[in-house]
Amino acid sequence: MKDLKNLKIAYIGGGSHSWAKNLMVDLAREEAICGTVSLYDIDVKAAESNARIGAFLAERDDVVSKWKYVVANDIEDALTGADVVVISILPGTFDEMESDVHLPEKYGIYQSVGDTTGPGGIVRALRAAPMFAYFAENIKKYCPQSWVINFTNPMTVCTRTLYKVFPQIKAFGCCHEVFGTQDLFKEILKEKRGIDAKREEIEVNVLGVNHFTWLDKVCYKGEDLLPLYREFIEENAEGREGTDKEHWANSSFAQKNKVKFDLFCRYGLIAAAGDRHLAEFCPSDWYLKDPETVRSYGFELTPVSWRKKDLAWRIEVAEKLSSGEKQLDFYRTGEECVRQIKAIFGLGSFLTNVNLPNRGQMPQLPLNAVIETNAYFSGDDVRPVVAGNLPQGVLALVQRICAEQEMVAEAALTGNYELAFQAFLNNPNMPLDIKAARELFDEMLKRTKKYLPYYEAYVKREKA
């Protein structure tokens, strides 16, 4: 039997000091499990900084579980013997992301996030998938029985890549966007009924793909909340900002849920991700036509310059933490990672939403496509529940993104960038004709070429 006081977690990435810190906080407060976290980052300084923060933690009295944080020599060192692997990387740097997001603007294409779909998301996936292929190969070699948790975007293509390269991998992808919608329902319950519910009490059935998830059931203590939601939308025709500032997505990136409400008016179904993500999966005429349209729907085009500033600030904080100048605050992270790990090791089964290959949970979508639904976590098992069917109108939008993601994953791994260009042309946020689109695509690839293993061959073929 597994010794739960001596687990090994391999943490790949973490240089952004965001997800890693969340995990540290949650591990420190959970007494049922203990062990070592092996930190692996191509930015060695970031790994060292995290290790020092971890060391300070272990000395504190208010910590119920003292984990050992070590910097791995290499990926073999990190993975060997790992029970759990957490992957949370930035594919490339914010310079590449700047090109992903802002170069298309010169062609009149606006993206609110640019990390999942659209021109930016597609090119980011071409960069990220080869990295995930590398992780999968090494996991197969050094810890094939480990559980792998992915936090990296583009979530779907990255997780799909893990399974394409190592089909027996026990991997799933985690994202907290759906939590934001559960929080919105908490607010609705509070406002309209005076009830203080917990997020977990808002039971939902989740269908779709990451960042384009839908709910066809929202229930509180057996009561269907759809009628309440309908009422709330009618009363908030101009949108409504979330008030629960605890959740990072609300505090940092303003949005008024107007896209979410508009989609409800279209389909009678609740879109579960934030507006900035939802908009990117729809025809550009709807929400992303131009900055005015974006503004009229009450959300923002997040500039990458903001992300750069934010990162600088986070590094500054990390330096203080790792030098002992500052203590880590035990905030409520809102994440479920530690609870998931516990369930997998036999400490409390539960249901939550994650990204997994389709094995029947959504019979309308292709088998093996990575999709997001509820899954039941129990001993050595993460098993999707049957989420059922989407209505035809939403289905058409979801099938499109599934096709795009399959093309892009295939393109990234085989170097068939023509296939990626097909996806690029097919994207709903692509108003250009073939010639202009090719120009943009080529320029975007060029700017990210150092992360593209097949770039030279592509350029050569194109010239021929």
Active-site positions read: 176
Residue 430: CB minimum distance to its own copies, A: 8
What residue type is 420 in one-letter code?
Answer: A
Choice from 59, 62, 74, 221 touching its own copies (CB under 8 A): 221
Choice from 315, 425, 447, 459 touching its own copies (CB under 8 A): 425
Number of residues that bind its own copies (CB under 8 A): 64
Nearer to its own copies, 94 or 345 (CB): 345
Cβ-based neighbour number of residue 230 at 10 Å: 13
Choice from 431, 443, 453, 455 touching its own copies (CB under 8 A): 431
Cα 89 to chain centroid distance, Å, stands at 11
Q: Which of residues 432-451 bind its own copies (CB under 8 A)?
A: 433-434
Cα 125 to chain centroid distance, Å, stands at 13
Query: Of 299, 109, 118, 337, whose CA–CA distance to 212 is shortest?
Result: 118
Residue 204: CB minimum distance to its own copies, A: 10
Residue 217: CB minimum distance to its own copies, A: 6
Binding mask 166-205 for its own copies (x = CB under 8 A): -------------------------------------x-x
CA triple 447-450-452, angle to 5 deg: 95
Structure tokens at 313: 């600030």
The sign one gets for the Cα dihedral 419, 421, 422, 426 is positive
Residue 39: CB minimum distance to its own copies, A: 25
Beta bridge partners of 271: 214
Nearer to its own copies, 55 or 385 (CB): 385
Contact by Cβ (8 Å): 9, 81: no
Nearer to its own copies, 203 or 319 (CB): 203
Residue 89: CB minimum distance to its own copies, A: 27
Binding mask 233-262 for its own copies (x = CB under 8 A): -----------------------------x
Nearer to its own copies, 6 or 323 (CB): 6
Nearer to its own copies, 98 or 216 (CB): 216
Choice from 142, 163, 166, 345 touching its own copies (CB under 8 A): 345
Beta bridge partners of 36: 8, 68
Rounded distance between C-alpha atoms, residue 204 and residue 219, angstroms: 6
Rounded distance between C-alpha atoms, residue 91 and residue 130, angstroms: 10
Ramachandran class of 350: left when φ > 0, alpha when ψ lies in -120 to 50, beta otherwise: beta
Contact by Cβ (8 Å): 432, 441: no
- Beta strands at 84-88 and 147-150: parallel, antiparallel or unpaired: parallel
Q: Which of residues 264-303 bind its own copies (CB under 8 A)?
A: 265-267, 283, 285-286
Choice from 422, 442, 447, 459 touching its own copies (CB under 8 A): 422
Rounded distance between C-alpha atoms, residue 329 and residue 286, angstroms: 42
Cβ-based neighbour number of residue 350 at 10 Å: 14
Q: Which of residues 350-409 bind its own copies (CB under 8 A)?
A: 351, 359-364, 366-367, 374, 376, 378-381, 383-386, 388, 391-393, 395-397, 399-400, 403-404, 406-407
Query: Of 213, 214, 209, 169, whose CA–CA distance to 371 is shortest?
Result: 209
Rounded distance between C-alpha atoms, residue 153 and residue 30, angstroms: 27
Cα 332 to chain centroid distance, Å, stands at 19
| DSSP structure class, residue 214 | E
Residue 53: CB minimum distance to its own copies, A: 29
Q: Does 347 bind its own copies (CB under 8 A)?
A: yes
Choice from 62, 106, 168, 222 touching its own copies (CB under 8 A): 222
**Three-state DSSP state, 71:** strand
Residue 164: CB minimum distance to its own copies, A: 15
Residue 201: CB minimum distance to its own copies, A: 9
Choice from 252, 323, 349, 414 touching its own copies (CB under 8 A): 349
Query: Of 287, 315, 384, whose CA–CA distance to 49 is shortest?
Result: 315
Contact by Cβ (8 Å): 172, 355: yes
**Sites of contact with its own copies (CB under 8 A):** 1-2, 203, 205, 217, 219-224, 262, 265-267, 283, 285-286, 344-347, 349, 351, 359-364, 366-367, 374, 376, 378-381, 383-386, 388, 391-393, 395-397, 399-400, 403-404, 406-407, 422-423, 425-426, 428, 430-431, 433-434
